[in-house]
Amino acid sequence: MKPVIVSGLKPSGELHIGNYLGMLKQAVELQNSNKYRCFYFIADYHALTQRYNPKEKAEEIYKMAVDAFSAGIDPKKSVIFVQSHVSEHANLAWIFNTITPVGKLQGMIEYKEKLSEGQIPNAGLLDYPVLMAADILLYKAEFVPVGEDQRQHVELTREVVRTFNDRFGKTFKEPKAVHTKAPRIMSLDNPTKKMSKSMPAGCLYLSDSPEVIREKVKRAVTDSLTGIDYDPEKRPAVSNLVLVYSEFSGVPIPEVVKKFHGVGYAKFKEELAEVITKTLKPFQEKRKKLLKDKRLVMSTLEAGTKKAKPIAQKTMKEVAKKVGLI
């Protein structure tokens, strides 16, 4: 039996190329490696911790599913479903809440960062890592693909496993973090800031037309030096563009630098925009079709739910018996 990988795709607005390279592309590669049984879910519960418009959130959840399918997540190779459609996620989280110290949650780095950004604290925001532990352990995952910012959450999951097993008997294995080599894509107009939908001028959305992509890339900041080089410390703006070219073309960074040796910024940007639009074209074409075919998207998600639900129910039945529920 192949080891299980579980990962959530959080629907929180229009996706950009940083999301694609750091999340969707990685998920597809793990799926296609044929080394794991992959469970991917649309993390709609996780997306409710900030104030939102319900109609907009429903649209975001649907678009996240569309983007996942368009990027290449294959329901024949992976189990993909919506988190809230499998109620056992919340049920298991409640049981884990009873063995998780509040102080541990208050000390989570991401929680403190959210508060420092001005987000109003709520119980869901505080409890986010416990629900994440339930997401992972419900399917007895052995590996969890995460970026560096989520490493602490996986460690909390491991602590939950130890506490649960000590108190109620051996039930779960401690999952290991698979640290994805997600590139840190910076804003095109401010290379000191990570690419974000909150800075639309420097953000390349997956839905941007070729014309918009060309215009944004054309306006991307560079520096006063000449030549294409990769030195994130000394030349962050140009290095960011080189990184994007490398990720979309599959050409290693040293070869990108060599390829554009002696080439001016204008020509390099033209080719960068071309490689991005060319790579995104199949994604955008499939996305356009799926956005209009809600029946197909929802039926595919429902099929995923039917695969995930029995596994979740089996785990919950085992847990309920262990903790003394009747």
Residues of the chain within CATH 3.40.50.620 domain(s) are 4-184+294-323
Give start and end residues of each alpha helix (H) in 138-173. 151-168
Active site residue 269: no
- Per-residue model confidence as pLDDT tens digits over 258-274: 999 999 999 999 999 99
Which one from 77, 173, 197, 314 is the annotated catalytic residue?
Answer: 197
**With contact defined as beta carbons under 8 Å apart, do 256 and 242 qualify?**
yes
By CB atoms closer than 10 A (0-12, 13-18, 19+), residue 229 is: middle
Which one from 193, 194, 289, 317 is the annotated catalytic residue?
Answer: 194
What is d(CA 42, CA 85) in angstroms, rounded to the nearest whole number?
10
- CA 290 to chain CA mean position, Å: 20
The pLDDT value recorded for residue 290 is 96
Question: CB under 8 Å to 246, separation ≥6 — which residues?
Answer: 252, 253, 256
Residue carrying structure tokens 């204008």: 266
DSSP 245-263: HHHHH---HHHHHHHTTT-
Q: Which amino acid is at 315?
A: T
The pLDDT value recorded for residue 78 is 97
**With contact defined as beta carbons under 8 Å apart, do 76 and 119 qualify?**
no
What is d(CA 43, CA 86) in angstroms, rounded to the nearest whole number?
11
The pLDDT value recorded for residue 167 is 98
What is d(CA 242, CA 271) in angstroms, rounded to the nearest whole number?
11
The pLDDT value recorded for residue 288 is 95
**With contact defined as beta carbons under 8 Å apart, do 171 and 164 qualify?**
yes
Which one from 10, 63, 114, 269 is the annotated catalytic residue?
Answer: 114
Active site residue 25: no
Give start and end residues of each alpha helix (H) in 172-264. 210-219, 236-249, 253-259
Active site residue 10: no
The pLDDT value recorded for residue 198 is 81
Closest C-alpha among 190, 150, 201 to residue 23: 150
The pLDDT value recorded for residue 214 is 97
Q: How many of the other CB atoms lie within 10 Å of CB of 74? A: 13
List strands edge to edge, sheet with 143-146: 78-82, 37-42, 4-9, 143-146, 176-179
Closest C-alpha among 235, 241, 270, 258 to residue 183: 241
pLDDT < 50: residue spans in the chain: none
Distances (CA, A) of 266 to 207, 218, 232: 24, 7, 20
Going by their DSSP bridges, the two strands 143-146 and 78-82 should be labelled as unpaired
Query: Which of left, alpha, beta for 72 (phi over 0: left; psi -120 to 50: alpha)?
Result: left
The CA R_g of the chain, rounded to the nearest whole Å, is 21
Assign domain 4-184+294-323 to a CATH class. Answer: alpha beta
Residues of the chain within CATH 1.10.240.10 domain(s) are 200-289
What is d(CA 202, CA 221) in angstroms, rounded to the nearest whole number?
9
The pLDDT value recorded for residue 226 is 87
Q: What is the SS3 assignment for 201?
A: helix
The pLDDT value recorded for residue 236 is 95
The four Cα atoms 95, 100, 102, 107 give a dihedral, to 10 degrees, of: -130
Assign domain 200-289 to a CATH class. Answer: mainly alpha
Closest C-alpha among 247, 277, 248, 251 to residue 181: 247
Question: CB under 8 Å to 298, separation ≥6 — which residues?
Answer: none
